[in-house]
Amino acid sequence: MSLPLAPLLDARSLVIVGASADPGRTGGMPVASLREAGFPAERLLLVNPKYDAIDGLACHPSIDALPFAPDLAVLAVRAADVLPTLERCHAIGIRAAVVFASGYAESGENDGARLQAELVAFARRSGMLVAGPNCIGFANNHTGVFATFIRHIARRREPGPIAIAAQSGNIAALLRNLGLDSGLRFSCIVSTGNEACVDLTDYLAHFAADPHTEAVVGYVEQIRRGPEFVRVALALRRAGKALFLLKVGSSAKGAEATVSHTAALAGRDVVYRTAFRQLGIASATDPHRLIDLVRLWRTGRRPAGRGACIVSLSGAACALMADHLARDGVAVPNSSPATQARLRAVVPTYGMVANPVDLTGQVTSDRSAFPAVLAAIAAADEFDAAVFYVMGELLDVMAPELLRAAAACEKLFIVIDTAEGATCHDALEAGGIVVFRDIHRASAALAGIVRWRADPAGRWEPGACRSGTAAVCARPEILRAARAGGRRQLTEVEAKALLAGSGLPMVSETLAHDADAAAAAAARLGWPVALKIVSPDIAHKSEIGGVRLGLADVAAVRDAHARLRADVARQRPEARIDGVVVQSQVVGGVPMLLGIVRDPIFGPVMTVGFGGVEAELDPDVAHRLLPVDAATADGMLAELRRSRLLDGFRGSPAADRAALVALMVALSDVMIALGDDIDELELNPVLVLPRGCGVVAVDALVRLSVPTTGGAAAAPREPA
């Protein structure tokens, strides 16, 4: 669970330990900021034995000499002095602290790691809230508490409804500055630092309940507690509070290589993007574009994806904007006949009206058409956004009409002005019309807000099994045998037996230990058949000649068996061989990949795409956190670039999409039922047969999780 942070972020009184009379020093900047902001002197205490007073305030020689115990201690002391200082703060009843000092785990040194471990142990033992270390602190614009050594943060105290929570002090300050320049106002600005005791999720939980906060803007390098982050992100969503995050950095995979295609396709950054999307979090690729999204959110206009109308007096600008929106995924639908008729009545015959709308240069001399154009666009149901590419002084002339039209409808209006001279930008922004100087950013922002508003994945809720009946592990002895043998990977035969026992459709097959047994099995199964090597040490059999297909008689089976065993022995002489599996070879069907990988932060993640050995060469995949229900599964299939292959393409029969959806839901349930036993699970290929004929998994891979030991140390965490 997340910590209640009111003693920290809503502190009513504080002490600065290591206070300085020099406003340029770390201990002097918060003193100067608080005094400049008019923080009540009777609630601001200072500690430093070097001074009797600073700026007219008494300066106490020690924490023990304070006249009362304030809510918060701001520590401007060396790392080596932090813990003794915290002990004294706790002894007099101070409930929260901010630690500026660096030189902890971020240093990469043993001493730094030791200091941070001691800090965590103190917080657990004492129950004290400790922010940082290695942070710039925070600023609460509503209470006037500036527990930070960044002076300029206190110089524009303009309280507003947006909070900033960033895993970087520099980026927190940058987001605040960019936001202020764009007219945004902030409730609280937080730098989380090393997050030794209080992490980003704790701050988000506080803002979810904070009456002063309606949205949160954040910078993320790493989520430390995935399940709790999911819970808090959903709490923000349910409270109607938007969350905008900038995620940077790609984490390296673990030292042990993954063995499934799924794991390669579902990299760490992909999982973060997937999680953000399902949780209804809007994200961007840099601070400027993140603030752009917030600017559009602030208008209160919520385009649901019906499309955008483009208006300009330049045909070239219309074409340029249409190209950008198309690349960014924003629909530019044709106007309805009724809308076109209204536009044609005022737009010259040589100007476009279908969308984009080209007002032509005539509008510079005859501006009477502009109100009629705006009225037609405002009334058109086929658009829920409009982009106006109008520049310079002409924009000043048209601004009053733009404001009237925006006030008369619920559409999101965006203006692009790449020229100089217009003086109406502030008035347009105040009226809910967002002005951009750059085409790229305007298009990206509109695309981002449309995706965030319209994405059905943003309505996902976590839960248990979704198929209606909870799956069970019908063959637990398979897992026990693998564990007993010290193995983390099941053989193909074991994997399919495990999954077939849970009701998943697997191809018919028989394990054979020699050529005679293989030939007999093939005759029983019926022709054609496939032969595959079975080994606990070989994940991808086709890469070493461990697969033979299209065998139509006994002689072919015997010959293939000899060649297969020889090829595998030559390329992997150390591999343990359990035999050869003889499979019925299913003819036809669309090959798909269906897999689940357990992400260390967010848990199991499903991947679906077009399968076969080339799955990693041309990835065409979709991802979701578990659980996956039928609607989610169908939405994943719709995202695939080649999804039309499932619906019949150039005369091929439509595939059994419903059976594939059912398999996806069942596999999700099986993974949930298996719990923490499984790290990776993959069916590749799954052949999707013609409609009504079902699906069949031809190959399966199951990788077990690393066993945990009871004596394993828990991750560093704040006190309960």
pLDDT reported for residue 439: 95
Please state which of the four CATH numbers 3.40.605.10, 3.40.50.720, 3.30.1490.100, 3.40.50.261 is assigned to the domain occupying 301-454. 3.40.50.261
Asked whether residue 26 carries a pLDDT value surpassing 80, the answer given is yes
Question: What span, in angstroms and rounded, lies between the C-alpha atoms of 94 and 576?
Answer: 63
Mean pLDDT for 520-541 is 91
- The arrangement of secondary structure in 6-249, i.e. its CATH architecture, is 3-Layer(aba) Sandwich (3.40)
CATH superfamily, domain at 509-584: ATP-grasp fold, A domain (3.30.1490.20)
Amino acid at 121: A
322 has a pLDDT exceeding 70:
yes
Residue-level pLDDT at 649? 78
Q: What angle do CA 89, 199, 714 make, to 5 degrees?
A: 90
pLDDT band at 476 (very low <50, low <70, confident <90, very high): confident
Which of the two residues, 606 and 613, has the higher pLDDT score? 606
Q: Which pLDDT does position 466 carry in this prediction?
A: 62
pLDDT band at residue 467 under the 50/70/90 scheme: low
Q: How far apart are the first and last CA of the chain?
A: 8
Distance of CA 126 to the CA centre of its chain: 34
* pLDDT at 525 (0 to 100): 94
Peptide bond before residue 337 is cis, with ω within 30 degrees of 0: no
**548 contacts 563 by C-beta, under 8 angstroms:** yes
Cβ atoms of 409 and 378 closer than 8 Å: yes
Residues comprising the chain, all counted: 720
Contact 600, 225 (CB under 8 A): no
SS3 (DSSP) at 428: helix
- Residue 619 in this model has a pLDDT that exceeds 90: no
When mean pLDDT is compared across 48-62, 371-385, 601-615, the lowest value belongs to: 601-615
Do 301-454 and 509-584 come out as alike in CATH topology? no
Is it the case that residue 262 has pLDDT exceeding 80?
no
Residue 304, pLDDT score: 84
Average pLDDT over residues 155-176: 93
Collapsed DSSP state (helix, strand, coil) of residue 388? strand
Q: Is CATH 3.30.470.20 correct for 466-507+586-720?
A: yes
* Distance of alpha carbon 205 from alpha carbon 79, whole angstroms: 28
39/31 Cα distance (integer angstroms): 10
Residue 718 confidence (pLDDT) above 80: no
Q: Which two tokens stand for residue 171?
A: 């980026």
Provide the pLDDT confidence category of residue 708 given band limits of 50, 70 and 90.
Answer: low
Average pLDDT for 97-101 = 97
Indicate whether 651 pLDDT > 80. no
Domain ranges (residues) in the chain: 6-249, 301-454, 466-507+586-720, 509-584
Q: Give residue 201's pLDDT.
A: 97
Q: What pLDDT sits at residue 614?
A: 61
Residue 470's pLDDT band, with cuts at 50, 70 and 90, is low
* Strand-pair category, 579-584 with 529-534: antiparallel
CA 566 – CA 516 distance, rounded (Å)? 16
Q: Is the pLDDT confidence value at 172 over 90?
A: yes
- Rounded to whole angstroms, the Cα distance separating 428 from 390 reads 13
Look over the chain and give the mean of its residue pLDDT values, rounded to a whole number.
90
